Amino acid sequence: MFRSLRLPISLPAALAVAGAAMTPAVPATASTASTAGAAGGTACVTRTSLGVVSGTATDGLCAFRGIPYAQPPVGRLRFRPPRPVSPWRGTLKAVDGTRVCPQGRDQMSEDYPDDRKVYTDEDCLHLNVWTPKPDRSKRPVIVFIHGGAAAYGTGNEPRYDGTNLATRGDAVVVSLNYRLGLLGWAELGGLDPAYRGSGNNGLRDQIAALGWVRDHVADFGGDPANVTVVGESAGAFSISAMLATDHPERLFRRAVLQSGSGALVHTAAFERKLASTLPGRDLAALRTMPVAELLRVQEKAVAAFPGAAGHALYFGPYVDGTLVRDTVTKRVKAGNARGIDLLIGTDRDEMNFFGQYSKDGLGTLAEQYDAFFPKELAARRARMTEVYRRDRTKQAAALAMFTDQGMRVPALRLAEAQSRWRPTYVYQFDWAPPKGVGAVHTIELPFMFGTLRFVGVQGGPEALRTDRARLTTLSAQMVDAWASFARTGDPDARRTVPRPAWPAYRMPRRATMIWDLSPRVADDPRGHERALWDGVPFDGAYL
């Protein structure tokens, strides 16, 4: 997810490919493997090339929480690329679902696993696995990368619990943590060439976790040749950046991008601008600074950047020319991701999320849009506004344009590019709580996970209390679609809950699944508004 708004333009600098494979042993709890009954009567224990791992039986499947996928990035490894973990002795008890990478608590939009106000433990590069059974069944694998503006959130949020996806889809589900804020996304190569590329370390963490999945998921009942990576907001930006790396098909076979596309992957010029706002610019101090103090430095750095979007996109992946080779749509259009099936979509009222909890927040947000409208389109603006005003108030029109510029149209542009090469599916999520402010950013998450936890969605909990049956059905339809796509590349291949068929996205039809209490397919929804943005490259330069 973004955060309070202050949209940048892009982010990069330089980068160097990570170094050597380490040795500090991973902290593991040696003990006798648990023999408690799990799914199918099998113990939740498996043997990997790193060592034995035990989990817990829950809801008819096995959950393994807190498995390290990289060495703790502490001490000399702070600001360095992730290093592989070392084997452990005895049995690693994977029962810790509380690790959160360093951040101050965001009470508005994150669903934390406990009530801590500040998280300061850098030893957070862990992942979770839910599986019907740790056997050799070669189930499809779904790997989720959380959002949070690359500064907040965790794979341990209860709303990201993989139980429903694993059960309904007969799939192995993985969620993961990655370094956030300055620790994961600060480009320090300008201070010391040895740290060139540190601004993509959060992305490297995610790639390292996908490497762990490739090497070890078979031990948990998954098929390493059938991995689907799913990301929301900053997680989707990150996956988009991976589509511009060399041979992304080696990391995953399919991708689901929710509320995020390559337009929000930063450029090199903007990365250098962000690096210049770092207070003090003293690398030695940053390397040894206590985490709580580093978080305060981080807040100062974000506050120093002018604009109206606050933490929204200050941190994130960038085009460094080494790992992320070029802008995403350009690379995808050229066939760089030709081996990957794509499912991509947005929420109808994405930007309303940022104005839902303050007095006249939507009005303030609409006024802020002036600062983000592309100057290159100034001559078109009056005409564009006229089109958006046909069935909206002035405020609603500005917010709709903000959503289309920031999210919907760039996602469609990426879908167009990839549909030339592989099956591509597009959705728009339209359901909104009766007492909320629309189908806002993040609103699809409780449905696609099947948890129905409406954190950060005004009116969501009340809507669930009064309309649980219909919301549960909508969730089941989405869980089935996501799981079917992960299994086969086709969201319709295993429809167990009735809904309309979902055609692939192709020109000129542009078939789009509209998720609502009565899902439907629309051809090129609001196409007259989409077409107004033709000619805008959406390569990171318009936000």
CA 321 – CA 197 distance, rounded (Å)? 10
| Confidence at residue 91, expressed as pLDDT on a 0 to 100 scale | 98
DSSP H/E element including 486:
helix 468-488
Mean local confidence (pLDDT), 522-543: 87
| Confidence at residue 308, expressed as pLDDT on a 0 to 100 scale | 45
Task: Give phi and psi for 63, each to the nearest 5.
Answer: -120, 125
Instruction: Answer whether residue 8 is part of any domain.
Output: no
Residues pairing with 58 in the sheet: 61
Domain count, the chain: 1
DSSP H/E element including 284:
helix 283-288
Is pLDDT at 146 greater than 60 in this prediction? yes
| All residues at 6 or more sequence positions from 317 whose CB lies less than 8 Å from its CB, including other chains | 11, 150, 185, 200, 202, 203, 237, 238, 240, 241, 265, 266, 324
| Confidence at residue 276, expressed as pLDDT on a 0 to 100 scale | 82
Is pLDDT at 17 greater than 60 in this prediction? no
Is pLDDT at 5 greater than 50 in this prediction? no
Active site residues: 233, 350, 441
Question: Which candidate, 457, 442, 433, 445, places its Cα nearest to that of 357?
Answer: 457
CA 99 – CA 155 distance, rounded (Å)? 9
Instruction: Answer whether residue 407 is part of any domain.
Output: yes
For 326, the domain range is 39-533
pTM for the full model?
0.93
Instruction: Answer whether residue 469 is part of any domain.
Output: yes
Question: pLDDT tens across 370-380, in order?
Answer: 988 988 899 99
Q: Domain containing 311 — which CATH number? A: 3.40.50.1820
- The model's confidence at residue 42, banded by pLDDT at 50, 70 and 90, is low
Instruction: Answer whether residue 23 is part of any domain.
Output: no
Instruction: Answer whether residue 29 is part of any domain.
Output: no
Instruction: Answer whether residue 445 is part of any domain.
Output: yes
CA 162 – CA 449 distance, rounded (Å)? 7
Instruction: Answer whether residue 391 is part of any domain.
Output: yes
- Beta strands 424-429 and 341-347 are parallel
What are the structure tokens assigned to 329, written together?
A: 């749509």
- The model's confidence at residue 381, banded by pLDDT at 50, 70 and 90, is very high
Question: pLDDT tens across 225-255, in order?
Answer: 999 999 999 999 999 999 999 999 999 999 9
Residues pairing with 257 in the sheet: 231, 344
Choose between 301 and 304: higher pLDDT. 301
Question: pLDDT tens across 113-135, in order?
Answer: 999 999 999 999 999 999 999 99
Instruction: Answer whether residue 225 is part of any domain.
Output: yes
Question: pLDDT tens across 448-475, in order?
Answer: 999 999 999 999 999 999 999 999 999 9
